Amino acid sequence: MRILVLGGDGYLGWPTALHLSQCGHDVAVADNFVRRQYDFELGMDSLVPIESLQTRVSTWQDLTGKTIKVYVGDLTEADFTYEMIRDFGPEAVVHFAEQRAAPYSMIDRKHAVYTQVNNVVGTLNLLYAIAEIDPEIHLVKLGTMGEYGTPNIDIEEGWLEVEHNGRTDRMLYPKRPGSFYHLSKVHDSHNMEFACRIWGLRATDLNQGVVYGQQTAETVLDDRLATRFDYDAVFGTVLNRFVVQAVLGHPLTVYGTGGQTRGIIDIRDTVRCIQLACENPAERGEFRVFNQMTESLSVADIAATVAKSYPGEVTVHNLDNPRVEKEEHYYKVVHSGLVELGLEPHLLSDTLITSLFDVAKRYSDRVDLNAMQPRVNWRGALDGVTR
Ligand code: NAD
Ligand code: USQ
């Protein structure tokens, strides 16, 4: 298949592009490198050094003989998006290209507006480009489990059968997300469902859980193929942060009681899920939703798992929670759709964590300890701080 990976320079987009290429698909990637720009803005860097996209692609070609075409541009610029879709003529477009950190979106008004404009406008341009150029194209879009929030009922895969006053209907599952970033994904989901219903597009919305891990079968072939590893309090995800903290002898930064539970997924399963979604497209007019996570763990359980696996001493520090989120709640998620397509999940194991400890140890001299403490507070706007 011809598959275009948007956000192909990012943490997940790059390993996914490699995996799809390795599977024999004809792959192109697109990016505007804004993720590297956020590092400059925040004074952070990936723990693992990463090469330029051009070096990554040429390394892949040298090693495997496979080519990956590169498009450099911004999805919010419609001309770029249209020209790229016309030029590459994809059968599937995998869309990772959004601002993806909840804390970044909560810094202040400017960052919230940027996040929602970047994410919602980029996706809207893409929906129009697909509808006008080739409505057969299957859009595979990264959403997030956080769109649902933590409702007191089971979380279904995107849709809910509702009975009200003796009548029933199949409705989009109600959403109650926890940041302006997560809200941008809800807005995208609604726009996509509308485009499927009105124009007959085909789309798969992948409500992915928190990703952990840094290596895939393809990225380990050469250091120059490595993907980024974020550990700072803005872009680092919880398990990856705890691994780096354990290695440095820094207390694990559990926010609040740590009772908050999240769906999580190994990066090796992320790339496989995308492959499965592309190779088994949604029908024309179908807005298909999968919950892309493999297990649920509380933050306290994640901390305990990391502490148990680490050979040295690990301490846990329960910080005042900088976020506004429930710390004790019901959490039960249906996530059978991708398994039915053939996913065999890698569950969190000591082996994986040990290999992550090795990655963190190898690059521990690159860690900036100032990046560990959370500085973005969800309540900031209410404290009278000028925004
Ligand atoms: P990332 O920031 O590392 O990668 C996103 C890439 O998209 C970056 O390279 C960035 O430069 C690019 N990009 C952003 N806006 C763009 C635009 N307007 N035009 C062109 N390129 C643009 O993020 P990631 O961790 O790889 O996440 C990828 C996707 O998966 C995101 O949509 C995110 O919401 C979703 N997701 C991530 C996780 C996770 O734990 N990392 C979990 C669930 C869902
Ligand atoms: N947390 C801690 N300590 C930390 C970091 C996080 O206790 O040092 C807690 C947070 O309070 C939160 C949970 O861990 O309850 C997850 O936080 P996170 O930063 O790992 O993940 P989150 O902000 O939800 O965002 C990440 C990705 C995002 C993706 C989302 C999937 O950055 O792109 O959409 O995971 S989900 O959470 O399922 O919505």
Task: Write out the chain's pLDDT in tens, 387 residues.
Answer: 999 999 999 999 999 999 999 999 999 999 999 999 999 999 999 999 999 999 999 999 999 999 999 999 999 999 999 999 999 999 999 999 999 999 999 999 999 999 999 999 999 999 999 999 999 999 999 999 999 999 999 999 999 999 999 999 999 999 999 999 999 999 999 999 999 999 999 999 999 999 999 999 999 999 999 999 999 999 999 999 999 999 999 999 999 999 999 999 999 999 999 999 999 999 999 999 999 999 999 999 999 999 999 999 999 999 999 999 999 999 999 999 999 999 999 999 877 899 999 999 999 999 999 999 999 999 985 554 444
| CB of 34 closer than 6 angstroms to any ligand 1 atom | yes
Q: Whose CA is nearest to atom 4 of ligand 1?
A: 10
Tokens matching residue 379: 């309540």
Is there a contact between 130 and 141 (Cβ–Cβ < 8 Å)? no
The catalytic residue among 11, 181, 212, 310 is 181
β-strands 261-266, 295-298 pairing? antiparallel
Task: Centre a 10 Å sphere on the Cβ of residue 274 and count the other Cβ atoms it contains.
Answer: 29
pLDDT score of 333: 98
pLDDT score of 382: 52
Structural domain spans, the chain:
2-375
Number of H helices, E strands in the chain: 13, 14
Q: Which atom of ligand 2 is nearest to the CA of 264?
A: 38
Residue-by-residue DSSP string for 283-316? PTT-EEEEEE-SEEEEHHHHHHHHHHH-SS---E
pLDDT score of 170: 97
Q: Is 185 a catalytic residue?
A: yes
Q: Say how many Å lie between the CA of residue 8 and the centre of ligand 1.
A: 9
| CB of 186 closer than 6 angstroms to any ligand 1 atom | no
Ligand nearest to the CA of 375: 2
Q: Does pTM top 0.95 for this prediction?
A: yes
Q: Whose CA is nearest to atom 13 of ligand 2?
A: 238
| CB of 75 closer than 6 angstroms to any ligand 1 atom | yes
pLDDT score of 381: 58
Is there a contact between 57 and 224 (Cβ–Cβ < 8 Å)? no
Q: Whose CA is nearest to atom 10 of ligand 1?
A: 35
Q: Is 144 a catalytic residue?
A: yes
The catalytic residue among 16, 141, 185, 227 is 185
Q: Whose CA is nearest to atom 16 of ligand 1?
A: 97
Q: Say how many Å lie between the CA of residue 53 and the centre of ligand 2.
A: 27
pLDDT score of 383: 52
Q: Whose CA is nearest to atom 26 of ligand 2?
A: 210
Tokens matching residue 13: 């987009």
Ligand nearest to the CA of 6: 1
Ligand nearest to the CA of 242: 2
| 97: nearest Cα among 118, 80, 125 | 118
| CB of 81 closer than 6 angstroms to any ligand 1 atom | no
The catalytic residue among 81, 115, 144, 270 is 144
CA atoms of 216 and 16, how far apart (whole Å)? 9
Q: Say how many Å lie between the CA of residue 62 and the centre of ligand 1.
A: 26
Q: What is the CATH number of domain 2-375?
A: 3.40.50.720
pLDDT score of 387: 42
Distant-in-sequence, close-in-space partners of 13: CB < 8 Å, separation ≥ 6: 5, 6, 7, 29, 31, 94, 96, 97
Ligand 2 is surrounded, with C-beta below 6 A, by 100-102, 144-146, 182, 209-210, 237-238, 241, 253-255, 260, 262-263, 299, 323, 325
Ligand nearest to the CA of 73: 1
Tokens matching residue 302: 């994640």
